[in-house]
Structure 1
Amino acid sequence: MNLSIKKSLYIIAAAASTIFVGCKKQLDINNDPNKAPVVTGTAALIYPSAMMSTTGRIGGELNIIGGIWSQYYTQNWTSNQYKTIDAYNIQSTDYQGSYAELYSGALNDYYYALDTAKKAGEWKYYLMGTVMNAFTVATLVDLYDQIPYSEAFQGKANINPKFDDGYTIYQDLLKRIDTALSKDITTERDGDPADNDFIFGGDMDSWVKFANTLKLKFYLRMINAHPEVAEAGIRDLYTNNAAFLDIDAAMKLFTSTPDKQNPFYAYNIYRLNTGTNLKASATFTTWLNANNDPRIVAFYDSTDAVPMHQGDFLSKYSRVTTFNQSPTDPVEFISEAESYFLQAEALERYFGGTGAKALYDKGVTAAFAALGYGDEVAPFIQAGGVYEYPAAGTLPEKIEAIIVQKWAHFAYGCHSLEAFFDKNRTGYPRTSPVYSKEASYVPGQFVFSPNGVTGGKFPKRLVFPDSERSRNKNTPAEVPITKPVWWAIQ
């Protein structure tokens, strides 16, 4: 396939990703996510559509809730778009579009592509589809705790699929990844996937690393609920000399042209025709300022960012700084920096910490470099630097250092859901006993929104959408959004 055809495929897929975040698609809930439509095509044809569906939703609408709940930005006091998120007032009518699209779009297409690839012995597409399917399924599990899985996508054969628990789903995803990794991806039977692989350009070694790094993340998710399984899985990865990501697993082909923009930008700025809805949060800006972190310019276009206090949208502010967005920003699935941080955590938990400092330093360096500040990182991580790794500290102190640096990094690349998940898994960054307006507030600690409706408890999940409940009699009873999911700190 020549370059012009490849670009045409990308344009079609990128246009679809913007449709995903548009108003019409947001309100279109007529497609049953548990009934697979008739699809024809090859894995090579269907896979790009699935990947862009994942990119459009997780990198767009869902990224916004992750960013607000991770306290990178907050609802502007002069507008109303995201007040319910900042007040933790999520209803069953919210996120129906993303839920339906990830099922009827992304997952339906992944399963079709995987079935087609398996029958044809196209193992490169099988690995690519398996990894992205696992990433998408896990994101839904992490948001909803239970989802239709083992009985889903049977069409009329089962219109009321059961909801599987998250741990069971994770176990199956790990098995599927192992199966895909066991296949012979050296064959050219399926041609060169570079033409429609928008993540690695057909580099299958990087897909193997992506698969291993995703497995590592899944096992680290389990440390609270199934510590023995987590340890055994991680030790097995290292025993078998698994290679992990040393580059970004990310979609980076966005342009400033409408219909080919970053989905976060398209959803929040282009769709709404305003760039002022999301304002700098005092939680993040105070931490950046306290550490003289130069990345504040990348996030807020200023070294003198004027923030709002998180969730303080009923107060009046004379001037506040807008969170910086660009139509060409990437959507990261697992970044190079995150890979290093995951490895550092694993080494601290299970291998006595040997090599953890070096990986932590590489993580901070990659995080700075992603924003163009790679040349400025050395003073921060050297001895005496504000981000120096606490090599002589306790395990909790080391884990906190790793997770807080991940939090700072996840503000970039439409990757903020991971910061929300990490907070629920580890408790870091810490939660402040006082609001950020108080003199005793410690920069970077999470604060409860003054307009929160959950009695002082932070959100931990989303609620099942009405569109699912009205169609599937097996939808579990609704639980508060403050109830932790299966892998979180209980």
Structure 2
Amino acid sequence: MKFSLINKNILVGVTLALSASLVSCKDFLDINETPNSPLAVPPTTLLPTGLAGSAFANANELNRFTSAIMSVTAGVLGSPATYDIYNTNGADFGNQWRFEIYGGALVNYNELIKAAELEGSPAYIGIAKIMKAYTYSIATDVWGDVPYSEALQGDANTQPALDSQRDIYLGNEAEGIQSLFDLVKEGLADLELESATKPGTDDLVYGGNMDYWKRAGNTLLLKLAMQISRVEPNVAKQVISDVIEGGSYIVSNEQNLAVKFGGQVGSQNPIHTYTNVSSFRNDQMISTRFRTLLQDMKDPRDTLFITRPTGEFVTIDNGFRGTAPAAANRSKFGTFVTGGDGSAPVRLLTNWQRAFILAEAAIRLGTAGDAQALYEEGIRASMAAAGVTTANIDAYFTANPTVVTLAGTDEEKIAQIITQKYISMVGNGVEQWNDWRRTGYPTLAPHQNAVGIDGTRPVRAQYIDQEVARNPNFPDNIYSNVRVWWDID
């Protein structure tokens, strides 16, 4: 079978991302030698490689970790079994830090900006800045203070300082640190300029649709603002209000910031690969807790989110240490997440996510919008994307008024919103974890046999051992029970 051009671009991006994870251990900032930043690479190659890198950063091992600790999956063997009992340390996520984030996506976006500047192509520059901000947000949300203003300088600075998470989000003019918000806004301004060249099929998200990229950038502003809404409510309210007033943000499922993957080996969604293809495919299965949540809500997405190899759901509880069901019988991520053949996109920002953000913001911050209408919009958009028919969605709303109607105190309404957001974000464990840390919702019972640092669910990842050893700017004693700056619960 011949690849289409877009599948060739996917294969280029995925192959380079995978090759980065297999090379010998080198300094993650040694960009002059990394295979992800060879000299004179054109924007048409750098863009899909960067996008694939961001998708892998979100959906690969960090997703295996976060889906387990957020009670969506349960560990059976290997790393997921240790994650499931909250056991993580500095030996975890080295490839994600060094090759998918810093030496992968971020290096590619930096090189893309340089290459596009030479060509006079701000369309590429704008996308690179938006995605650079998104990828840095993964790093700081997972690890807290990280290299940012001094990162990606190659041999000029191989031991970058760590910037505080507050400065990364809000900027620090005195220290010359640009905020993530300003980085996104710069990218949006670039997208307004005349461009000598524009992306086409090399754009694995929108195929070169600049209006959709503008909507994605503004929706990223909404996500970043909501992330800091507990510690900087005034900043969050202003950012969200400005985006609402501008009226350019994701409002339909076709506008999702979702990186496309193919159905052929080498171009498949990473969740499909580790769930169904790789030697790790039997390491985890769906948690009984996630299945029970859907069951209790009579949610029609259950068979779309979760497989039933035997015709029934076969799950285990988190932290379970008995004999797991036979591998062939286990419920795993369903076609919505994997695409069946691996062609499901990695969904980084979605229409339903935007609706739930605005619903929460209307209650928590007093921004414009009807929280109830936005809440319903989020549920409907998620169900439609999963494949539930309009008639069945309408029937669900009629039959389950207590689920689809916000009620009680503002805090109880926010709990409803985040619980539905958690369900809708299946396959994006990083965002589920972000919301739980920020709000405490959904309410999750401790896992069986939990150990970790103090038996509690991790609230950050520990710094990578290699970086602690090679860069004296890294502290060596920040463990997984220490909250990041925006996590105040």
TM exceeds 0.5? yes
C-alpha deviation, 1:4, in angstroms: 5.4
Greater alpha carbon shift after TM alignment, 56-65 vs 457-466 = 56-65
CA contact (8 A) 1:300 1:321 kept: no
What's the CA shift string for 1:211-259, capped at 9, x where partnerless?
A: 001001111111122222222222232344443342321023321x211
SS of residue matched to 2:448: coil
Counterpart of 1:322 (choices 326, 331, 334) is 331
Which residue identity lines up with residue 147 of structure 2 in the other structure? Answer: P
CA contact (8 A) 1:200 1:206 kept: yes
Where does residue 91 of structure 2 map in the other structure? Answer: 93
CA contact (8 A) 2:50 2:105 kept: yes
CA contact (8 A) 2:11 2:267 kept: yes
CA contact (8 A) 1:17 1:55 kept: no
CA contact (8 A) 2:191 2:210 kept: no
Where does residue 256 of structure 2 map in the other structure? Answer: 248
Partners of 1:193 and 1:318 in 2: CA distance = 47
C-alpha deviation, 1:132, in angstroms: 1.1
Counterpart of 1:196 (choices 192, 199, 202) is 202
Partners of 1:381 and 1:118 in 2: CA distance = 51
What's the CA shift string for 1:26-76, capped at 9, x where partnerless?
A: xx4224335444532233331221111122232211111121111111012
Where does residue 439 of structure 1 map in the other structure? Answer: none
Please give the residue correspondences for 1:37-436 in structure 2 after superposition, counting only pairs within 5 Å: 37=33, 39-76=39-76, 79-101=77-99, 102-171=101-170, 172-183=179-190, 185=192, 187-190=194-197, 192-246=198-252, 247-255=255-263, 257-272=264-279, 275-302=281-308, 304-312=312-320, 314-317=321-324, 321-324=330-333, 325=338, 326=340, 327-351=342-366, 354-375=369-390, 376-382=392-398, 385-390=401-406, 392-411=407-426, 414-430=427-443
C-alpha deviation, 1:90, in angstroms: 1.0
Greater alpha carbon shift after TM alignment, 67-76 vs 10-19 = 10-19
C-alpha deviation, 1:14, in angstroms: 3.1
Partners of 1:368 and 1:193 in 2: CA distance = 31
SS of residue matched to 2:231: coil
Where does residue 472 of structure 1 map in the other structure? Answer: 471
Which residue identity lines up with residue 401 of structure 1 in the other structure? Answer: Q
CA contact (8 A) 1:122 1:189 kept: yes
C-alpha deviation, 1:103, in angstroms: 0.7
C-alpha deviation, 1:383, in angstroms: 7.8
Which residue identity lines up with residue 330 of structure 1 in the other structure? Answer: P
Which residue identity lines up with residue 435 of structure 2 in the other structure? Answer: D
Which residue identity lines up with residue 319 of structure 2 in the other structure? Answer: G
What's the CA shift string for 1:148-170, capped at 9, x where partnerless?
A: 11111222222211000112112
CA contact (8 A) 1:117 1:126 kept: yes
Cα separation, partners in 2 of 1:383 and 1:368, compared to 1, 3 Å: same
C-alpha deviation, 1:332, in angstroms: 0.5
CA contact (8 A) 2:7 2:267 kept: no
Partners of 1:159 and 1:81 in 2: CA distance = 30
What's the CA shift string for 1:327-359, capped at 9, x where partnerless?
A: 222201112211211122222233367422222
CA contact (8 A) 1:67 1:416 kept: yes
- Gaps spanning 5+ residues in structure 2: where? 171-178
Counterpart of 2:25 (choices 10, 24, 29) is 29
Counting aligned pairs with the same residue, the percent is 25
CA contact (8 A) 1:113 1:129 kept: yes
C-alpha deviation, 1:307, in angstroms: 2.2
Cα separation, partners in 2 of 1:318 and 1:350, compared to 1, 3 Å: closer
What's the CA shift string for 1:165-189, capped at 9, x where partnerless?
A: 1121123111111122223536241
- Gaps spanning 5+ residues in structure 1: where? 431-444
Cα separation, partners in 2 of 1:345 and 1:216, compared to 1, 3 Å: same
Partners of 1:459 and 1:366 in 2: CA distance = 30
* TM-score between the two structures when normalised by the length of structure 2: 0.88
CA contact (8 A) 1:18 1:260 kept: no
CA contact (8 A) 2:450 2:456 kept: no
Partners of 2:67 and 2:418 in 1: CA distance = 16
CA contact (8 A) 1:248 1:334 kept: yes
CA contact (8 A) 2:244 2:368 kept: no
Partners of 2:40 and 2:127 in 1: CA distance = 19
CA contact (8 A) 1:69 1:86 kept: yes
Where does residue 435 of structure 1 map in the other structure? Answer: none
Partners of 1:227 and 1:186 in 2: CA distance = 32
SS of residue matched to 1:484: coil
Cα separation, partners in 2 of 1:127 and 1:300, compared to 1, 3 Å: same
Cα separation, partners in 2 of 1:352 and 1:16, compared to 1, 3 Å: closer
Partners of 1:122 and 1:401 in 2: CA distance = 44
SS of residue matched to 1:193: coil
Partners of 1:315 and 1:240 in 2: CA distance = 54
Cα separation, partners in 2 of 1:111 and 1:292, compared to 1, 3 Å: same
What's the CA shift string for 1:265-291, capped at 9, x where partnerless?
A: 22343221x643222212111111112
* TM-score between the two structures when normalised by the length of structure 1: 0.88
CA contact (8 A) 2:446 2:457 kept: no
SS of residue matched to 2:218: helix
CA contact (8 A) 1:36 1:155 kept: yes
Greater alpha carbon shift after TM alignment, 97-106 vs 41-50 = 41-50
Partners of 2:95 and 2:26 in 1: CA distance = 10
Greater alpha carbon shift after TM alignment, 48-57 vs 449-458 = 449-458
RMSD between aligned residues: 2.3
Cα separation, partners in 2 of 1:353 and 1:211, compared to 1, 3 Å: closer
SS of residue matched to 2:74: strand
Partners of 1:258 and 1:73 in 2: CA distance = 24
Partners of 1:448 and 1:160 in 2: CA distance = 38
